[in-house]
Amino acid sequence: MKMPRRMQRLSWVQFFSWFGLFTMWAFTTPSIAQNNYDTNISEVEYNRVLAEIDKMDELGMVSEEDREDFEKMRSSLLETSPKDGMYFIQNKPATMLSQNMILNDRDLFASLSELRTAQPNLFTQEMTEEFKKAEGKLNDEEFVLNSSLSTFLAEHSNDADISFVARLKAVAKNHQKAGDMTGLLFTIYNFVALIFAFLLNTLAKRTSRKFVHFFALLLGGLGLISMMLIKDPGLLWISMVGIGVAWASILAMPYALLIDSLPLNKMGIYMGIFNFFIVIPQIINGLMSGAVIQDIFGNYSIYYVALGGALMLLASLLTLRIREPLFRSPSEPETAAAV
């Protein structure tokens, strides 16, 4: 069964559009952690992380049930390439090591207090305010030293163990911030998609279905790529606007463009085949993403998300191959010749 020409062309648009979306859905949190929060450690700290993980293994602290995950984590660390002289450390090893070492948050705060007494000149006004806030919460049952104070202690403590644990705790907390930010950003792009969905029909009537989908995918691709360029996490909502517009269009416009070209007696079959181009990029993403991120991008997944953005830009350009006027005159009917 040969697909109609328009369906063939739209299939490639669907493939690259969904590929871009899947890169974002799968890797937003680690990408934000790497690109927008302080989750990189020095070479000295990185080597100590590897040594501490080996020590945990030698002391039998890893159960058989956790062995597979433990080996994957160690392998991932070994395959991380330095970026600007720093190494990215994932949430799991940072959390695991900082929790298994002797010092807890109250111990770190005690060290911070000693540092403040010994070298008060190190404390800026901002750090002094953060210190007083933490001091006020010291008696809480779940006292947690925030990432800014942990980072400050890691940078200024003369005790190597205290500095190391404080750094890992700061990294783990920044990973948590990245996870929280991901939830907020996904809410934003879904809200944008909801609003834009109501505008699709009006915009298509004033321009064309082809132009709306082309423009939406263009914004989506730029949104994904901009995630790599934006360093302030508070500005990532800008990326989500473009992604939300693309998401709304991807769910509707390909089917609006396709439906005119399908024979009524085989529409169900063709629609089912067309949906393969949603599933196939998901399968390919699942099979190749890990290897690409580790072997090509040095475990920095933000570059993989940017690759997804580039493919979405390609999808927007492929939309121009659909034989329908880019701008329809008001006198023309809404449906174009389906070829």
Spatial separation of the C-alpha atoms in residues 159 and 122, rounded to whole Å? 16
Judgement on whether residues 183 and 293 belong to the same structural domain of the protein:
yes
Domain of 133? 38-172
Judgement on whether residues 24 and 45 belong to the same structural domain of the protein:
no
Judgement on whether residues 71 and 50 belong to the same structural domain of the protein:
yes
Judgement on whether residues 48 and 150 belong to the same structural domain of the protein:
yes
Judgement on whether residues 151 and 17 belong to the same structural domain of the protein:
no
Judgement on whether residues 121 and 73 belong to the same structural domain of the protein:
yes
Q: According to the 3-state scheme, what is the secondary structure of the chain?
A: CCCCHHHHHHHHHHHHHHHHHHHHHHHHHHHHHHHHCCCEECHHHHHHHHHHHHHHHHCCCCCCCCHHHHHHHHHHHHCCCCECCEEECCHHHHHHHHHHCCCCHHHHHHHHHHHHHHCHHHCCHHHHHHHHHHHHCCCCCCCCCCHHHHHHHHHHCCCHHHHHHHHHHHHHHHHHHHHHHHHHHHHHHHHHHHHHHHHHHHHHHHCCHHHHHHHHHHHHHHHHHHHHHCCCHHHCHHHHHHHHHHHHHHHHHHHHHHHHHCCHHHHHHHHHHHCHHHHHHHHHHHHHHHHHHHHCCCCCCHHHHHHHHHHHHHHHHHHCCCCCCCCCCCCCCCCCCCC
Domains held by the chain: number = 2
Structural contact between residues 319 and 214, judged by C-beta atoms closer than 8 angstroms: yes
Residue 333 lies in a domain: no
Residue 235 lies in a domain: yes
Judgement on whether residues 18 and 128 belong to the same structural domain of the protein:
no
Judgement on whether residues 308 and 235 belong to the same structural domain of the protein:
yes
Question: pLDDT 10s per residue in the chain (339 long)?
Answer: 677 788 888 999 999 999 999 999 999 999 999 999 988 888 888 888 888 888 877 877 777 777 888 888 888 788 788 887 888 888 888 887 777 665 678 888 888 888 888 888 888 888 888 888 888 888 887 787 888 888 888 877 777 778 888 888 888 899 999 999 999 999 999 999 999 999 999 999 999 999 999 999 999 999 999 999 999 999 999 999 999 999 999 999 999 888 877 777 788 888 888 889 999 999 999 999 988 998 898 888 999 999 999 999 999 999 999 888 777 655 555 554 444
| Beta bridge mates, 41 | 87
Judgement on whether residues 57 and 111 belong to the same structural domain of the protein:
yes
Residue 241 lies in a domain: yes
Structural contact between residues 62 and 198, judged by C-beta atoms closer than 8 angstroms: no
CATH of the domain at 243: 1.20.1250.20
Spatial separation of the C-alpha atoms in residues 220 and 240, rounded to whole Å? 8
Residue 330 lies in a domain: no
Judgement on whether residues 185 and 299 belong to the same structural domain of the protein:
yes
| pTM: predicted TM-score of the whole model, two decimal places | 0.80
